[in-house]
Structure 1
Amino acid sequence: MPLAPEHAHPLAVCHIACWREAYRGIVPDHVLAAFDTDQRAAAWERIARGHTAKTLFVVEHGAEIIGFTQYGRPDEYPAAADRELGAMYVRAPWYGTGLAQALMDSVLEPDRSCSLWVFERNPRARAFYGKYGFTPDGTARAERFAGATEIRMVRPAVEFRS
């Protein structure tokens, strides 16, 4: 379902938990420990109430959010693709259940290219995105606050032949 203001706090809890589950050993422990649920919830509430060109879907299980994805037009210029996957997170207990595939299916369209940024030292995520046709394009950058290197991966549009 799309993001609504009432999702802000459960989404913040999910977002922070996903970072801690997925990035331990990649992002310094002090960075992971410093995340504040109330601050993250306030940021998500601003996003939910604002007009943004990004689309965000959340997956709920009871009152808990267990996964989410955010995508839209790329922020960079020139863009590497038609669409950028800005966030793709699933709580660890839900790994391997098909939830991540359902979220990817909500984002990817065969006739539109898509890019994303992933931590270079995250082989699990890189392999996951590789299953969907994403490959590194040779571009790297330092992530804003974690100090870890990210690489860009791009999935080309599929040309249909008649």
Structure 2
Amino acid sequence: MADVGVRPARRADAAAVAGVQVRAWRQGYRDLLPADVLAEVTAPAALEVWRDRWADAATAPPSPRHRLLVAVASDLVVGFAAHGPAEDPDLAPERTAELITLLVDPPHTRAGHGSRLLAATADLLREDGFDTLITWVFEDDEVTRTFLGSAGWAPDGTSRTLDMGEPVRQIRLHTDISG
């Protein structure tokens, strides 16, 4: 069995994290986002932008409560998760955190990496004093909704519509991480 685990991201992981993001988006969002939008956010130029942003997230997060974690298998980055205090105006950021993203490289899905990232995220957030975790998902993203639902997440009744040349609806999920 390969060595697997979750650790804080390092600057050297930024290219791998951006690559996972682009591959996961191309596969997972191909039926959820307009084709031109998906092509733009996964193009080679976008990959460079994502790499720089993930390098910043690993080395200079906006606060000590923002973190970028990577899932590794035999020293290969196979997934990542980013979290921080919730920014939605109807939430208390001192008690509610947001799972900003959690993605696993398509060839490495269904191997426990997403669950390990989710557990590590919840553990760190509990240590930071958070008791609720939220995330935004595309309403039609059954894969993510099923995964999170199996871990105790549920819709909280809040939704938003993104303008991506056509309306794309998201719903907010939440879970109790108090423990």
TM-score norm. by structure 1 comes to 0.86
Equivalent of 1:69, from 77, 81, 92? Answer: 81
Count of residues in Structure 1 that have an aligned counterpart in Structure 2: 159
Alpha-carbon offset, residue 78 of structure 1:
2.7
State yes or no: 1:6 paired with 2:12.
yes
Match of 1:106 in 2: 120
Matches within 5 A, 1:10-159: 10-34=16-40, 35=42, 36-53=46-63, 54-61=66-73, 64-79=76-91, 82-109=96-123, 112-143=131-162, 145=164, 147-157=167-177
2:110 partner amino acid: G
Partners of 1:70 and 1:133 lie apart in 2 by 19
Identity %: 25
Q: Which runs of 5+ in 2 are unaligned?
A: 1-6
1:94 partner amino acid: H
2:81 partner amino acid: T
CA separation of 1:38 and 1:99: change in aligned 2, threshold 3 A? same
2:12 partner amino acid: E
1:31 partner amino acid: V
TM-score norm. by structure 2 comes to 0.78
Pairwise CA RMSD = 2.3
Alpha-carbon offset, residue 142 of structure 1:
2.3
CA deviation map 1:31-58 (0-9, x unaligned)? 2222221121122222233232311101
Partner-residue secondary structure (3-state), 1:83: strand
Partner-residue secondary structure (3-state), 2:8: coil
CA separation of 1:57 and 1:137: change in aligned 2, threshold 3 A? same
CA deviation map 1:54-88 (0-9, x unaligned)? 11101234564210011121112231662211111
2:9 partner amino acid: L
Match of 2:3 in 1: none
Structure 1 stretch displaced more, 137-146 or 123-132: 137-146
CA separation of 1:62 and 1:145: change in aligned 2, threshold 3 A? farther
1:87 partner amino acid: T
CA separation of 1:63 and 1:157: change in aligned 2, threshold 3 A? closer
1:105 partner amino acid: A
